[in-house]
Structure 1
Amino acid sequence: MTAVPVDVLPRAEGAALTGALELVALAAEVDGVRPLSEEAELRLRHGGPDGGRDVLFGHAVGAAAYARLDRGDDGWQAEFVVHPELRRRGLGGTMAAKLEELAGDAPLAVWAHGELPGSAELGAARGWTRARTLLQMRMPLTGVDPDPRPALPDDVLVRPFRPGVDEQAWLAVNAAAFAHHPEQGGMTRRDLELREAEAWFDPQGFLLAWRVAGDGTETLLGSHWTKVHPAGETGDEPVGEVYVLGIAPEAQGLRLGRALTDLGLAHLRSRGLAEVLLYVEEDNVPAVSLYERSGFRRYAVDVQWHRAAPPA
């Protein structure tokens, strides 16, 4: 393998960006699993927070390996992919060592999407520990009620998201609903608008539940944001997703989660989709059990590996 030195860039542009995107697309096609999270890919395409890095190893056929590295509250977080034709040649270990070098004395967390062959061996060989396991669960949509009529409180109205109008209200409820979640709860206005600009965004599948007071004042109580993955991204056919389902803390107990779930699944079925997926932390046993009782099955696994800060 004739490789050029590693490039550590504040933002990949030009040929570096093209090469990285082509590698990400190729790996997804070959593996049947997206090698980067949606957030990491958006940061590759549009830039991310200050201090982030795009790390590339070059090769005659294009990028041999790519990693996205970002600084978080508890250290560095990374995701990386190796060209399918160049695996099992030590390049994964070389990339992992480079990420450790860039993280310095801070903790480093690395996501392995799909837990593909070799990822566990690489993590264990470097002394990393398995810290988080994210389950992808799936369910057929064939049995979903195409016209649910959930019993909502008389003062609650469900309607689609209004771009340019509802952003701030949704961000406030999202932050409150996911205050415990290290990624979802920190979504910003820019993060939301980047997703609104994506080809998959459909406001009709982004359902918001509002409490309407007698004077017409509206208060957002919760939402169910659905997504459709195109054919080839998560399978041979398009697949729907329970993308974000969040209820304001003060609205817990109103059964809005069930109502919004049913309405969102009906919307996905109306799009002609046969299957829906969602993500949930494996250690969230009550949620996993609830989804299994609802008909979801475990389909794939993402694992986050941790390298603790090196001893002083």
Structure 2
Amino acid sequence: MSSAEPTSDQVTRTDRLAPAEIADVLALAGAAGDTDGADPLDEHVLLRLRDPEASAVHLLARADDGTLTGYAHLDTTDPVGGIGVELVVHPGYRRRGTGRALARGVLASATGPLRAWAHGDHPSAAALGVDLGFTRARVLLQLRRPLTTPQGEPRLPDGVALRAFRPGADDAAWLALNARAFAEHPEQGRWTSEDLRVRLAEPWFDPAGFLLAEETATGRLLGFHWTKVHERPGSARVGEVYVLGVEPTAHGGGLGRALTTAGLAYLRDKRGLDRVMLYVDESNSAAVALYERTGFARWSAHINYHLG
């Protein structure tokens, strides 16, 4: 991405992608993910690509024969907090200036501070970020562990029971709990009913794997463990601790560990998986320590770079 060799690729900008263009972007992202071992576009971007009403800026780099060689996505919905940027170059067209050409297009299109993700902490992304004046601001770790041994029964606090999420009935209560549990989180704590709706409509959604901890005397939600299963042709199935949260007033009673155990047991015993992953901010030392005590180890890192 940072080679001095100039690219002849043409970079175009659009506010709306045609279905064929979306297919090209997804194919490019898949090729890059297979090569790099880390998906170059996060879930938020993939959801927006499939949403015809989503507002975004798309930059497309194409070779003379029309092949899509690179793509950049600009999420402009929060210009005050920062324009979200994700950029990917096809593995077969790297080291020829395509990434730099797209980055110049990003800078030309920006109307506020930029927040760019480099998934997998790729060296080319780091070099390009430094060259353009970006600063390394946040590290999101991916942790993994095997599921080859039984998880045991979760030790729930007295008066607490687990049940499955009920779409439509639990939405409002869960959103309120999620906001409290992640009040300081830059993304998760800001989820809206629309954010929840689009995920409940995803093919991977499984209500039985969305576990809620409920106070039996009152029905009040105290915590949750939402699991996810990643299935892609040619790749091994892997589970994910998608979101795990606990009501702040219920901290310290072992509920987080019980929810973790219950979700891992579900992925192993009900979904037949032998590995699981999760994402956690490196700065959240308490959460990192909790997961490492339950057998997780560092797998990869995703870096957020800031400019402006």
TM-score by length of 1: 0.89
In structure 1, the residue matched to 2:61 is: 57
| Distance in 1 separating the partners of 2:25 and 2:19 | 10
Q: Which amino acid aligns with 1:261?
A: T
Distance in 2 (CA, whole Å) between partners of 1:128 and 1:151 is: 45
Give 1:86 deviation, angstroms. Answer: 0.9
C-alpha change, 1:134 and 1:5, in structure 2 (3 Å) is closer
Task: Give the equivalent residue in structure 2 for 1:282.
Answer: 282
Separation of aligned partners in 1, 2:252 and 2:206: 28
Aligned to 1:24: 29
Counterpart mapping for 1:56-75 below 5 A: 56-59=60-63, 60=65, 62-71=67-76, 72=78, 73-75=80-82
Q: CA deviation at 1:135?
A: 0.7
Give the Cα–Cα distance (whole angstroms) in 2 for the partners of residues 161 and 193 of structure 1: 13
User: 186, 189, 196: which one pairs with 1:185?
Assistant: 189
Q: Which deviates more from structure 2 when the two are superposed, residues 26-35 or residues 80-89?
A: 26-35
Count of matched residue positions in the alignment of Structure 1 and Structure 2: 298
How do 1:106-185 residues align onto structure 2 when only pairs under 5 Å count?
Answer: 106-145=112-151, 147-154=152-159, 156-185=160-189
The residue that corresponds to 2:252 in the other structure is 253
Aligned pair partner of 1:14 in 16, 19, 31: 19
Distance of 2:154 and 2:143 partners within structure 1? 25
Instruction: Provide Cα deviations, 1:241-282, integer angstroms capped at 9, x if missing partner.
Output: 111001112222332111111100100111211111111111
Bigger shift: residues 289-298 or 108-117: 289-298
Residues in 2 aligned to 1:15 and 1:49: alpha-carbon distance in whole angstroms: 17
TM-score with structure 2 setting the length:
0.91
Correspondence for 1:292: 292
TM-superposed CA distance for 1:74, in Å, is 1.6
- Residue 11 of structure 1 contacts residue 44 of structure 1 at CA under 8 Å; is this kept in 2? no
Give the distance between the partners of 1:267 and 1:279, measured in 2 at CA. Answer: 19
Q: Secondary structure at the match of 1:180?
A: coil
Distance 1:159 1:239 in 2: 23
Report percent identity of matched pairs: 48
Rounded Cα–Cα distance in structure 1 between residues aligned with 2:233 and 2:298: 20
Q: Which runs of 5+ in 2 are unaligned?
A: 1-6
Residue 102 of structure 1 aligns with which residue?
109
C-alpha spacing 1:159/1:98, structure 2 compared with 1 (3 Å): same
Q: C-alpha root-mean-square deviation of aligned residues, in Å?
A: 1.9
